[in-house]
A and B are shown apart, each in its own frame.
Chain A
Amino acid sequence: MEPESAVLLHRLPPFVEPPEDLRAPALTAGPITPGELDDQVLAFPARRPPRKWYVAIAFTSMLAAVGVFFIGVTFRVGIGAWGNTSPVFWGFGIINFVFWVGIGHAGTLISAILLMFRKRWRNAIARFAEAMTIFAVMCAGIFPLIHVGRPWLAFWLLPYPNQRGLWVNFRSPLVWDVFAVSTYFSVSLMFWYLGLVPDLASLRDRTPGGIRRVAYSVLSLGWRGAADHWRHFEKAYVLLAGLATGLVLSVHSVVSFDFATSIVPGWHMTIFPPYFVVGAIFAGFAMVLMVLIVVRETMDLKNLITDFHLEVMGKVILGMSCLMGYSYAVEGFTAWYSMNSYLHHAFMNYITGPYGWAGWLTMTCNVAIPQLFWFRRCRRSYPWMILVALAVTVGMWFERFVIIIVSLYQDYIPSAWHLFKPTVVDFGILFGSFGIFFTLVLLFARVLPVIATSEMKADLPGAQPGNGGSHG
């Protein structure tokens, strides 16, 4: 009988336990029961944080204060405090916006797309990655708001009935961006909060009393784990994952439309949407990898966030790095094949112009260095992982620098060419945004469950009736 029809008629050979080296690796290092999982993960908020935590948050909040100060300078002086000047009107503000929105994409990929693909290893890292998504989008949101010049009028971006009788221009990709990023933030927040509700209920029931218990009670909405509720909850979670999957692909595509729908040489390319999405996931995974290394070491979570998790993330980074290399090659090919002298000039300017170093730095960091992850030893060793993750973070920031600054400072009219020189305010806000991001991450690790315990419990061996704990 043909194999296909054997499958259709369920005439399969009896199931044989696969040999050791073919079995899926265990998701936790060492056995753990649901109760122990709670004791390990949910105990953090109740304990006094270690000294390290105070040192870290002192540093990051200082950095955040620097950022807030320079944002204040921007409000007082105006956008003139930045390096933006003709013809580079999109300077650090837009670079940082694209960079931070991109960082967020890894969280949604892990929480939504990997859930759809039933990659069970995502459970341990999904909560942290989702939190990082939300904080990254918050950081990203700062930049367009302060870049509009009069941020107290930023609500003009929304179509609301106003006394001017005008509506926003719905044919502008910048308006699409407003909708895409605000939808992305709301959906990520909803997804994150929904997953948190059962864990908050666990936290509520193990907190003896006081303000923390009140807070956890209110936030957990009186969740009581009824079977009647779980059936709706699971359905909602899968639906949200499906919706977020489409959304995560659309958000950075829309961000890329800001560039691709214009006629600036170097921006007007059809590769831009997939290229941006890949770059976003790439940068986001690097950031998640870096933060998770710190988290599993300082919070003693090595048995839950295992070497296997880090290795899989390394593989994703490697795959994305190859796609980035492909995208850069397509950019070069398009420039050459277009036989358009402006496009040709723009591309050569990326690699040989005054900012050529930035172009080569981008390619080295994003394409060359991650190739180290072909080696298992590098995927399993902290120094190499941190080296690659840092390289990717730097490389992806400079990629946006190349796309925005290098394309803009030499446009069609040579008399308008002008080198871009960032000011101290530009750098202050950039570093300040890192401070804001990591301050929020540290606060999150302090007060909320950093691992989705109810999701992990459902997948522990023996958690589900009958079939030995396999999920689905």
Chain B
Amino acid sequence: MAETFAVLGLFDHADALLAAIGKVKSQDLGGPARLEAYTPYPVHGLDRALGLRRSPLAGMVMVMGILGALFAMVMQYWMSAVDYPIVTGGKDPTSWQAFIPIMFELMVLFATFTAGLGMLLLLNRLPLFGHPVLGSRAIRSITRDRFALAVEAEGSGFDPRAAQAALEAAGAREIEWLPAPDTGPFLTAVTIQRSLAGIAAACVVAGVLTWGGVKLMPVLRPMVHMEDQPRLSAQQPSRFFPDGSGMRMPVPGTVARGYLPPPFKTPEQAAGLVNPLPRTREVLDRGRAEYQVRCAVCHGALGDGTPTLTAAYGAKPANLVAPNIRAYADGQIYGTIVLGKNAMPAYAADLPEDARWAVVHYVRALQRAQNAKDEDLP
């Protein structure tokens, strides 16, 4: 015969159960054993009669609630004031008053999950599907309307007959011996706790790695929504045209306005050309706009040839405000824009004629500004 886990006695009423606990306690239980009651609903006074201590849940919930609030405050402060300081509505990034609603919500969230899962998983060690009481005949009455008092063995040397006698003397209606389970339970609170802890740890690791990865490799693009557009970029193939190319040749024998082929082969040959544009505010504004789009990336916003790209790409763009370039004729600068020079590509395809001449005016303005003398001051 298998070892006995417990002897269970059923009672019809909560009063009978409470009275029986006192009686059974005073008797010999047949070896090391503890008393446990199984009831369909919480019966008041039962914990005192069984000598159960107060539930420690309230303290756990308070601690976790405070931790939740602190976590929320630290998280929001770090995210909005330290890692990526953000000014909203003219408020200082460190203004913490706006973090209070989320502090409250996370406090409640942490406290709730501590109360619920802490009660089930930690204190009650549920789920537990292999408990002997669940396999008893009595469980149908226990979860319905009757009350069970169990004398549960603790260690070896338990004598179920003595326990049965004690329960019978206390007025139990039905007695049942519960055999100890021969296999372990298959899904227990410990398994679930370990799984949850594993998932939580994996989340933390993934979060830290992602955050670190972003700091190291900012150019990775996981989402391309607005860049993914239904149009053809330069050099892309297209099945729409018979030759398979997305780019089109101009109609034979035509020239676009502002893009006449230059009548010179080198910039020096262009030196004789005269700037046809007047030196007005509008022309200089246009020249500046074109310069900042096309030229500033290499020659720098001031024209001194020290932009940010120089160091990264090892190029040595010309210093436009140096004496040798200042000595150029207007036409020579124009010719350089049209034909390119050394590493500089030709800009004839990007800038129409009047834009080129406007840039020439602006380069002259830069040269003047960077080589200003005291008497230039008004």
Residue of A nearest to B45 (CB): A465
A231 touches B55 (CB 8 A): yes
B210 touches A179 (CB 8 A): no
Do B37 and A226 have beta carbons less than 8 Å apart? yes
How far, in angstroms, from A217 to B143 measured CA to CA in the complex?
Answer: 13
Contact digits for A214-242, partner B, Cβ 8 Å, 1 yes 0 no = 00011001111111111111111001100
Contact B143 A198 (CB under 8 A): yes
- Residues of B110-133 contacting chain A, CB below 8 A: 111-113, 115-116, 118-120, 123-124, 126-131, 133
A423 within 8 Å of B (CB atoms): no
Specify the chain B residue showing the minimal Cβ separation from A35: B145
Check B76 for interface membership: any CB of A closer than 8 A: yes
B38 and A183 form a contact (CB under 8 A): no
Contact A221 B210 (CB under 8 A): no
Contact assessment for A221 and B41 in the assembled complex, using a CB-CB cutoff below 8 Å: no
Residues of B77-121 whose CB lies within 8 A of A: 79-80, 83-84, 86, 88-89, 91, 95, 98-99, 101-102, 104-106, 108-109, 111-113, 115-116, 118-120
User: Is the CB–CB distance between B40 and A163 below 8 Å?
Assistant: no
Interface status of A464 (Cβ within 8 A of chain B):
yes
Q: Mark A155-178, 1 if CB is under 8 A from B, else 0.
A: 000011111111111111101100
- Kindly list chain A residues whose C-beta atoms are within 8 Å of the C-beta of B240: none
A455 on the B face (CB < 8 A): yes
A244 to B79, CA, bound (A): 28
Residues of A within 8 A of B228 (CB): none
Q: Is A356 an interface residue (CB 8 A)?
A: no
Complex contact B79–A167 (CB within 8 A): yes
Known interface pairs A227-B38, A227-B43; A465-B101 also in contact (CB < 8 Å): no
Given contacts A180-B105, A463-B14, contact A228 B52 (CB under 8 A): yes
A222 touches B104 (CB 8 A): no
**Taking the complex as formed, is A421 at the interface, i.e. its CB lies under 8 A from any CB of chain B?**
no
| Cα separation A289 to B98 with both chains bound (whole Å) | 38
Q: How far is the CA of A163 from the CA of B214 in the complex (A)?
A: 5
Report the Cα distance A446→B108, complex, angstroms: 32
Interface of B is mostly: helix
Answer whether A458 and B42 are a contact pair too, CB < 8 Å, given A202-B144, A221-B127. Answer: yes
**A302 proximal to B (CB < 8 A):** no
CB of B140 closer than 8 Å to a CB of A: yes
Bound together, the chains give a CA A462 to CA B83 distance in angstroms of 62
In the assembled complex, the CB of A181 is this many whole angstroms from the nearest CB of chain B, namely 9
B88 touches A166 (CB 8 A): no
Q: Is the CB of B80 within 8 A of A167?
A: yes
Instruction: Tell whether, in the assembled complex, residue A202 and residue B40 are in contact, meaning their CB atoms are under 8 Å apart.
Output: yes
Knowing A161-B214, A463-B41, A464-B14 touch, does A231 contact B102 (C-beta < 8 A)? no
Q: Residue B61 at the A interface, CB < 8 A? A: yes
Q: Which of A167, A197, A233, A457 contacts B83, CB < 8 Å?
A: A167
Asked, given contacts A221-B120, A240-B116, whether A465 binds B144 with beta carbons under 8 Å apart, the answer is no
Q: Interface readout for A438-472 with B: 1 if CB under 8 Å, 0 if not? A: 00000000000000001101100011111000011
Complex CA–CA separation, A464 to B127 (angstroms): 28
Q: Which residues in A have their C-beta under 8 angstroms from that of B208? A: 161
CB pair B41 A455 closer than 8 Å:
yes
CA of A62 to CA of B13, assembled, Å: 49
Binds B, one of A5-13, A186-194, A315-323: A186-194
Is B43 touching A464 in the complex (CB atoms < 8 A)? yes
The reply to whether the CB of B311 lies closer than 8 angstroms to some CB of chain A is no
B214 touches A179 (CB 8 A): no
Measured between beta carbons, the chain B residues less than 8 angstroms from A206 are: 140, 143-144
CA distance in complex: A201, B41 (Å): 11
The reply to whether the CB of B18 lies closer than 8 angstroms to some CB of chain A is: yes
Q: What distance in Å separates the Cβ of A449 from its nearest Cβ neighbour in chain B?
A: 12
Q: Is the CB of A229 within 8 A of B102?
A: no
Which residues of B32-67 have CB atoms within 8 Å of chain A's CB atoms? 36-47, 50, 52, 54-55, 57-58, 61, 65
Q: How far is the CA of A28 from the CA of B207 in the complex (A)?
A: 54
Complex contact A172–B52 (CB within 8 A): no
A186-B15 in contact given A38-B145, A226-B36 (Cβ < 8 Å):
no
Q: Which residues of A contact B83 (CB under 8 A)?
A: 167
Q: How far is the CA of A218 from the CA of B65 in the complex (A)?
A: 29
In Å, the complex CA distance between A192 and B84 comes to 39
**Chain B residue at minimum C-beta to C-beta distance from A455:** B41
* Of A114-122, A246-254, A380-388, A405-413, the one touching chain B: A246-254
Q: Which of A170, A183, A197, A221 makes the CB contact (< 8 A) with B108?
A: A183
Q: How far is the CB of B207 from chain A (nearest CB, A)?
A: 5
Cα distance A171–B75 in the bound complex, in angstroms: 13
- Our pick among A169, A190, A227, A239 for the contact of B46 (Cβ within 8 Å) is A227
Whether B102 contacts A175 by the Cβ 8 Å rule is yes
A329 at the interface (CB under 8 A from B): no
A205 touches B143 (CB 8 A): yes
A26 to B215, CA, bound (A): 67
CB distance from B212 to the nearest CB of A (A): 8
A224 and B46 contact, CB distance less than 8 A: no
State how many angstroms separate the Cβ of B220 from the closest Cβ of chain A: 6
Measured CA separation A464–B38 after assembly (Å): 15
A-B contact pairs, 28 of them (CB 8 A): A34-B144, A170-B79, A170-B80, A170-B98, A171-B80, A186-B112, A190-B113, A205-B144, A206-B144, A221-B120, A221-B127, A222-B128, A227-B37, A230-B39, A230-B41, A230-B42, A231-B42, A235-B57, A236-B115, A236-B118, A236-B119, A239-B57, A239-B111, A243-B112, A250-B104, A254-B101, A465-B17, A466-B18
Additional A-B contacts beyond A225-B143, A230-B42 (14; CB < 8 A) = A34-B40, A162-B210, A175-B102, A176-B105, A183-B105, A183-B112, A221-B120, A225-B39, A235-B57, A243-B65, A246-B104, A247-B108, A462-B13, A464-B43
Residues on B lying within 8 angstroms of A by beta carbon are: 13-15, 17-18, 36-47, 50, 52, 54-55, 57-58, 61, 65, 75-76, 79-80, 83-84, 86, 88-89, 91, 95, 98-99, 101-102, 104-106, 108-109, 111-113, 115-116, 118-120, 123-124, 126-131, 133-134, 139-140, 142-145, 207-208, 210-211, 213-215, 218, 220-223, 225
